[in-house]
């Protein structure tokens, strides 16, 4: 197998707005990232995925791009981006950039031109349709399709009395990939960034570049917004593979770059192979969301704390499904969360009773799976969900749309508790560097409120504690990269041990020359675990009391790596 650099990498995702604010205006910036590169290098990272920093009106924090060729002044300048690339490379760290292909901002010059008249040459850069008139002569959206950010997938534009498609926010009109001229513009832009020295892309929302072009209504039941959440109308449709192949052929194949596409929730393993199989000639990997919601909280906004259950069985089944399904066919990225999900510590860990233990268990699993792991900034210190007490503290555009609608049937307290568990704001709080004001992120009030626990959970503190989550992530990355184990941990076979055990997540990692077992008690209760094969050496244990035993009395969230 080709053992190229991105297979041997440990990735780290930075959400630029919340990482480090070097000019103290309350928003993180590129110079801030540069100043933390040594921290990232010391962690053992050699690949950074950095969220969008293009010029943007920030309706969706930069995913709404108004100029692909420039850096938003909030984050710095184009020179800062070039310096960041150079400084990262100096430290042996590659940088991939978020590439937004599905939409632009409505303030992008292309859209301003496109909306100006029916005959504008850029009209077909976007997806325009006539509305439908009802029997009273009232105009309605062309279809009943819903958008991901609540409400309709269409927005009326008075200038030409047509609707433009937008599967995210009103300010993010969808690009029309059916237009060859548009595709060329996007290819040119991506090549330009590669020419600036970027090492590749995390490609945003790639599953949606093609739509059902007959624009027929969905037959699915309508939701509270009177639209059908029928993602199939614009997800994983066959035409998009042609667009992406062309992208690969005209751009990606010309560079030594790496790409991870975001396919989100609706893609099967078979689709994963179509996007990122070794023979697909599209992307190197795809991120699916299937392991992100293995408790019952997603889409369930009326749950009591005692009703929340982590389904370890299903989590193991899902990891296994993807790993086995991609085996020999394509390469897997693994991650616990990104900027669109709650903090994994609050989602699957136990921040109150077993912060260190559950945080290090999560790290043990992430860093011993086959493929390329991605850590999300703050995960390495076990950052938690927000403790906000007002709906107004939540700033995300999706959350705001949701809260407006939820007020019609839920109490303020129910909405708050749902948002504290599920919202995207959870992962977007300022990074907790130390116990100073605002967690050392800035001296200015941050763009989004800190979590109140930064005096307890912060980088500075964990650097001094030998067994902290941070130091354990460093140890685990060191083990993953150690030539004694790297072949097995990165490339070795993966096989679940006791797949029906509801609490212990355990697996073999094997090559012809080595056999490791990873044994993790994914539970706040102790559990006994019968080891299937005698082992002779404990490589890692997050409790430091490991013995060689046939039946292990695993403590809460105990995690081990052993060698047979
Ligand atoms: C992706 C991004 C998300 C963004 C959306 C629209 O899912 O991860 O943050 O809101 O695309 O660009």
For the stretch 204-231, pLDDT in tens is 999 999 999 999 999 999 988 899 999 9
Taking the C-alpha atoms of residue 172 and residue 189, their distance in angstroms, rounded to an integer, is 18
Residue whose CA lies nearest to ligand 1 atom number 12: 63
Classify the phi-psi angles of 421: left when phi > 0, otherwise alpha if psi is within -120 to 50, otherwise beta. alpha
Pocket residues for ligand 1 (CB within 6 Å)?
A: 60, 63, 100, 168, 204-205, 262, 339-340
Residue 115: the pLDDT is: 98
Position of tokens 């409790």?
A: 543
What residue ranges define each of the domains in the chain, with the CATH number in brackets?
A: 5-106+177-471 (3.20.20.80), 493-563 (2.60.40.1180)
User: What is the set of active-site residues?
Assistant: 204, 262
Which residues, including other chains, have CB under 8 Å from residue 299's CB and lie 6 or more apart? none
Whether pLDDT at 545 is above 80: no
**pTM beyond cutoff 0.85:** yes
Distance 61 CA to ligand 1 centre (A): 9
From the alpha carbon of 424, which atom of ligand 1 is closest?
Answer: 9
User: By mean pLDDT, which of 222-231, 239-248, 373-382 is the weakest?
Assistant: 222-231
CA 299, distance to chain mean position in Å, is 18
Expressed in angstroms and rounded, the spacing between residue 260 Cα and the centre of ligand 1 is 14
From the CA of 522, how far away is ligand 1's center (Å)?
A: 30
Q: What is the pLDDT of residue 368?
A: 98
Nearest-atom number in ligand 1 for the CA of 103 is: 12
Could you identify the residue written with the tokens 């409400």?
A: 151
For ligand 1, atom 2, name the residue with the nearest CA. Answer: 204
Which atom of ligand 1 is nearest the CA belonging to 264? 7
Of residues 162 and 407, the one with the higher pLDDT is 162
Rounded CA-CA distance 112/107 in Å is 6
Listing DSSP states for 230-251 in one string gives -GGGGSS-THHHHHHHHHHHHT
Measured in Å, residue 394 CA sits from the centre of ligand 1 at 17
The reported pLDDT for the residue numbered 109 is: 98
Spatial CA neighbour of 124 closest among 158, 88, 170, 173: 173
In the reported structure, the alpha carbon of residue 205 is separated from the centroid of ligand 1 by a whole-number distance in angstroms of 6
Say how far residue 177 (Cα) sits from the centre of its chain. 24
Return the best residue to mutate from 65, 148, 168 for the ligand 1 pocket (most ligand atoms within 8 A of CB).
168
């Amino acid at each position: 197998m080709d053992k190229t650099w991105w297979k041997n990498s440990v990735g780290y995702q930075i959400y630029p707005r919340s990482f480090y604010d070097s000019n103290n205006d309350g928003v993180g910036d590129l110079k801030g990232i540069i100043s933390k590169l040594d921290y990232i290098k010391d962690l053992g990272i050699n690949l950074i995925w950095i969220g969008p920093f293009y010029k943007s009106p920030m309706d969706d924090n930069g995913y709404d791009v108004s100029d692909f060729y420039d850096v938003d002044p909030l984050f710095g300048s184009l020179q800062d981006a070039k310096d960041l690339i150079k400084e990262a490379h100096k430290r042996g760290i590659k940088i991939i950039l978020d590439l937004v292909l599905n939409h632009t901002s409505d303030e992008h010059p292309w859209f301003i031109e496109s909306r100006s008249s029916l005959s504008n040459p850029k009209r077909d850069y976007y997806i325009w349709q006539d509305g439908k008139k009802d029997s009273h002569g009232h105009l309605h959206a062309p279809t009943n399709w819903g958008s991901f950010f609540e409400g309709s997938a269409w927005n009326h534009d008075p200038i030409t009395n047509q609707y433009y498609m937008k599967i995210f926010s009103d300010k993010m009109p969808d690009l029309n990939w059916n237009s060859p001229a548009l595709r060329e513009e996007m290819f040119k832009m991506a090549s330009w960034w590669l020419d600036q020295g970027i090492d590749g892309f995390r490609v945003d929302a790639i599953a949606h570049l093609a739509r059902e072009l007959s624009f027929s209504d969905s037959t699915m039941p309508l939701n509270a917004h009177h639209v059908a959440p029928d993602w199939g109308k614009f997800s994983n449709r066959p035409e998009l593979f042609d667009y992406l192949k062309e992208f690969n052929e005209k751009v990606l194949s010309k560079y030594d770059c790496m790409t991870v596409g975001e396919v989100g929730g609706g893609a099967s393993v078979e689709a994963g192979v179509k996007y990122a199989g070794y023979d697909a000639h599209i992307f190197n990997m795809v991120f699916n969301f299937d392991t992100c919601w293995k408790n019952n909280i997603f889409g369930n906004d009326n749950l009591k704390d005692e009703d929340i259950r982590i389904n370890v069985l299903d989590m193991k089944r899902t990891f296994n499904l993807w790993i086995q399904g991609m085996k020999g066919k394509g390469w897997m990225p693994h991650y616990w969360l990104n900027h669109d999900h709650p903090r994994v510590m609050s989602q699957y860990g136990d921040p109150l009773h077993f912060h260190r233990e559950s945080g290090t268990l999560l790290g043990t699993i992430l860093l011993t799976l086959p493929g390329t792991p991605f850590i999300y900034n703050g995960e390495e210190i076990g950052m938690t969900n927000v403790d906000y007490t007002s709906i107004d503290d939540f700033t995300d555009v999706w959350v705001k749309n949701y809260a407006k609608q939820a007020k019609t049937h839920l109490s303020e307290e129910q909405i708050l508790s749902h948002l504290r568990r599920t919202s995207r704001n959870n992962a977007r709080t300022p990074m907790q560097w130390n116990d100073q004001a605002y967690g050392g992120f800035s001296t200015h009030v941050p763009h989004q409120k800190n979590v109140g626990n930064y005096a307890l959970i912060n980088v500075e503190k964990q650097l001094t504690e030998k067994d902290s989550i941070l130091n354990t992530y460093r140890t685990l990355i060191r083990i993953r990269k150690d030539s004694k184990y790297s072949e097995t941990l990165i490339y070795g076979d993966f096989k679940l041990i006791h797949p029906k055990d509801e609490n212990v997540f355990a697996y073999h990692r094997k090559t012809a020359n080595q056999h490791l077992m990873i044994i993790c008690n994914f539970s706040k209760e102790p559990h006994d675990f019968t080891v299937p094969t005698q082992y002779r050496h404990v490589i890692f244990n997050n409790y430091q009391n490991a013995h060689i035993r046939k039946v292990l009395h695993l403590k809460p969230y105990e995690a081990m790596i052993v060698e047979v």
